[in-house]
Amino acid sequence: MTTAPPSAGSPGAPAAGSASFGAFVARAYARGELVVQPRMGFGDPGLMREGLERTRAAEAVTVGTLTLDSYTRVNDLPAARRAVAEGVPLNGYPLCTHSPAVSRDLLDGVHGPRFPVQVRHGSPKPEHIVAALLSVGLDATEGGPVSYCLPYGRTRLDEAVASWRTACAMLAAAGGTTPDGRTAGGGTAAGRAADRWRADPRPADDEPASPGDPVRLPHLESFGGCMLGQLCPPSMLVAISVLEGVFFARHGLRSISLSYAQQTSPAQDLEAMAALRALSDELLPDIDRHLVVYAYMGVYPTTRSGALSLLEAAARLAVESGAARLIVKTAAEAHRIPTIADNVEALETAARAARSAVRRPPVASDLDTEVYAEARALVHTVLGLHEDIGEALLLAFRQGLLDIPFCLHPDNAGLARSFIDSDGRLRWSDTGRLPLPVTAVAAARKLTSADLLTALTRVQRTYDPGGIR
């Protein structure tokens, strides 16, 4: 891709030569290259290793992924153990079930400064996963107290917030920082939080992370840009991402990324990315950070050509909007767990599309948008609720000031509704109690199953041959 002069080095950028995930991405960004990453996970360690090796060898600048299986995500480790023992195919890698030695072998010689690996999971209570990843020498992962709770089951939001405080502290402690950002040694608050969790015996047979490695800079990405995968207005996605970033920073993380998933309108997506950049510049000035684009996270095109052209559009969005990393989807998305070959094809397709796109320098008028105005109102309303960001998030959901359309979770107010407008943009049909100008255009008519399916399949129908039907 052709680039504007690099501007990646945010104030807290890690030193060149660092082994960290954030530093790898920052170096690629400075060279004008988009990092592409799969969402790959297999139950079998041999296959998982091969998947990482072939991701690394793909013709693209890549980082690796261990996507964990659903039993590990919900902390049903007995079920994961039984599945491994009985050879039941899993939808991801059971990191807490295979022994640390098996996982270290699988990473050995693949994971390293030139190929950092991130653990992706979807767990509202991730302490067992964070302990396991640290114990096998990894320190990059993903999630957040909101984005890994409301879309991922029935765990209460207050429990998820408490767990994510501990998880952040464990990660931060592995990098030698405390929640207030000071560099510190052994008896810190962060260290104590991690110890407290370790003292409570859970099934993971973890080992303490190696302390005090000066180049270890744990990385945490917010999944806030993907809430429920689809039909969530971009302003809300941006707001959750930024708020989770603030949560991570206040809990001691020094290297983070904020996400946004491609939605129904390319123009609106660019506006959302500009809003995400501006709000993170404003609220997270002093830490290493980058922006991540996800290829569409909702109902995917069923055809190969449709799936790959949607992915190419996501790659263009990532480059044009100045994202540093792209999470790809494969041509198998609508059908089954993708194979290694499906993933390699997606990585190389995305990298090709990225090379022909141009990074657009930000201009002031980028923020003259509905998305930015809404996202800014949401973020600042929430930050004003309480000095503790976790409490602020809980209050916001309790009061319906944050509200995710179509989310069944009982800690979500469920008053706000969204729709795809005639110009293709995702907007609020009912703002419920959101701190936004009131709209309630949908209240008149009850949504039918056919209406819902039409909205859910809009992107799929746009990209599958035959066009929008």
Nearer to ligand B12, 29 or 71 (CB): 71
Q: CA-CA distance, 469 to 462, in Å (whole number)?
A: 8
Q: CA-CA distance, 43 to 95, in Å (whole number)?
A: 9
The one segment of 52-60, 193-201, 297-305, 394-402 that binds ligand B12 by CB under 6 A:
297-305
Within its chain, how far is the Cα of 201 from the centroid?
Answer: 29
Q: CA-CA distance, 5 to 466, in Å (whole number)?
A: 41
Q: CA-CA distance, 119 to 280, in Å (whole number)?
A: 23
2: which strand partners?
358
Nearer to other proteins, 175 or 405 (CB): 405
Applying CB under 6 A, does 297 fall inside the site for ligand B12?
yes
Contact 103, 45 (CB under 8 A): yes
Segment 196 to 255, residues that bind ligand B12, using CB under 6 A: 226, 228-230
Q: To the nearest whole angstrom, how small is the minimum distance from the Cβ of residue 409 to other proteins? A: 7
Residues that bind other proteins (CB under 8 A): 69-71, 73-76, 79, 83, 88-91, 122, 125, 151-156, 159, 228-230, 299, 332, 335-337, 406-410, 447-449, 452-453, 456
Contact 462, 468 (CB under 8 A): yes
Q: Which residue has the tokens 């950028």?
A: 13
Q: CA-CA distance, 411 to 140, in Å (whole number)?
A: 28
Applying CB under 6 A, does 300 fall inside the site for ligand B12?
yes
Contact 260, 327 (CB under 8 A): no
Nearer to other proteins, 236 or 317 (CB): 236
| Residue 124 in tokens | 């509202």
Nearer to ligand B12, 175 or 338 (CB): 338
- Between CA 187 and CA 160, with CA 96 as vertex, the angle to 5 degrees is 65
Applying CB under 6 A, does 1 fall inside the site for ligand B12?
no
State the helix-helix crossing angle for 45-57 and 100-107, rounded to 10 degrees. 20
What mask, x for binding ligand B12 by CB under 6 A, covers residues 105 to 134? -----------------x------------
Q: To the nearest whole angstrom, how small is the minimum distance from the Cβ of residue 355 to ligand B12? A: 26
Give the CA count within 13 Å in the CB-facing half-sphere of 249.
Answer: 18
Nearer to ligand B12, 231 or 351 (CB): 231
Task: Choose, by CB under 6 A, the member of 18, 55, 70, 349 that binds ligand B12.
Answer: 70
Segment 6 to 45, residues that bind ligand B12, using CB under 6 A: 39, 41
Q: CA-CA distance, 390 to 286, in Å (whole number)?
A: 20
Nearer to ligand B12, 240 or 274 (CB): 240
- What does 277 interact with, of ligand B12, other proteins, none (CB < 5 to 8 A by kind)? none
Nearer to ligand B12, 142 or 320 (CB): 142
Q: CA-CA distance, 407 to 101, in Å (whole number)?
A: 39
- Between CA 417 and CA 422, with CA 419 as vertex, the angle to 5 degrees is 155
Q: To the nearest whole angstrom, how small is the minimum distance from the Cβ of residue 235 to ligand B12? A: 19
The one segment of 77-85, 105-113, 279-287, 331-339 that binds ligand B12 by CB under 6 A:
331-339
Binding residues for ligand B12 (CB under 6 A): 39, 41, 67, 70, 73-74, 91-92, 122, 151-152, 226, 228-230, 297-300, 332-334, 336-337, 456
